[in-house]
Amino acid sequence: MKHKKINWRAFTSVYMGFSAVIVAVSGIILYLAPPGRVAHWSYWSLLWLTKTEWQAIHTIFTFLLIFAGGLHLYYNWKALMNYLRRKTRESFQLRTEMLIALVLTVFIFAGTYSEIPPFSSVMDFGEALTDSWSSKETEPPIPHAEQLTLGEFARLIKVPEENFARLLEKNGYAVKDASLTLEELATQYDVTPSKFYELVNNRKTVSTEASSGAQSYVQGSGFGRKNLSEVFRENNISWEEGINILSKANIKVISDDKLKNIAEENDVDPNEIINALGLF
């Protein structure tokens, strides 16, 4: 029986359709997803996939969609050129449509870059959505705390490393290698990294100093989206005092703005501003 030859032109068109759907769906999910510090700390997932897995899917299918688009142009190049020549001879309508499309594209690009409404509103709404996932239970002490080793994490929360390891073992999480990160240990026992922090917070043996220190970190989480005045207010720092501290750290503040914007203006990481204020 003779097999039917594959129509690669048709295959490319159908594949582009499937890929476009996956790219669109994954893009919307990533738009709605919590920030990385929350997603990695609590192993957030949607439709059985974590944020990291959705990011991988979105990236791979985007590249493949671009590649398939190139193949689509290759297989349909002659038909496309004939169509363009025919339309150009018939009238100037196509040129008008192309001009309108070009102007619209430039306008959207410039509006998004300049952060003006309604483009900025879309991004602000997305940031509000991601911030809504944040809570005392889902926030790590510092962003990406799951990447710290057990010893580093113990020092961060001001608990002796031996006590921390003993607490984990008592709750069924034996630590055979102290160089493991919280994420690696969590993977071994099929739990979230936040589970280990919950054990510490639920223990009476944690000192008041450690508890207050942890709260400072929680307040600092997601600080990049907060205004400087908001950070000052949450940590009982006056505007004059805070500006003076930052000035000594060679961080200039022209006006109240989001920390990420102030960091960009000073060519530093937002963490450096928080560090300068003594909040870490």
Cα 63 to Cα 16, 56, 70, 136, 155: the distances in Å are 11, 11, 11, 37, 42
Q: How far apart are the first and last CA of the chain?
A: 72
Cα 212 to Cα 49, 145, 158, 262: the distances in Å are 35, 17, 10, 27
CA R_g for the chain: 26
12 — phi, psi (to 5°)? -60, -40
Mean pLDDT by 10 residues, the chain (280 residues): 73 90 94 85 87 93 92 83 70 68 91 88 83 73 84 83 85 85 88 85 48 40 72 85 88 86 84 72
- Entry pTM: 0.60
Tell me, what's the pLDDT at 57? Answer: 96
CA-to-CA distance for 48 and 54, rounded, in angstroms? 10
Tell me, what's the pLDDT at 204? Answer: 39
Tell me, what's the pLDDT at 215? Answer: 40
Tell me, what's the pLDDT at 18? Answer: 94
The answer to whether the beta carbons of residues 141 and 156 sit under 8 Å apart is yes
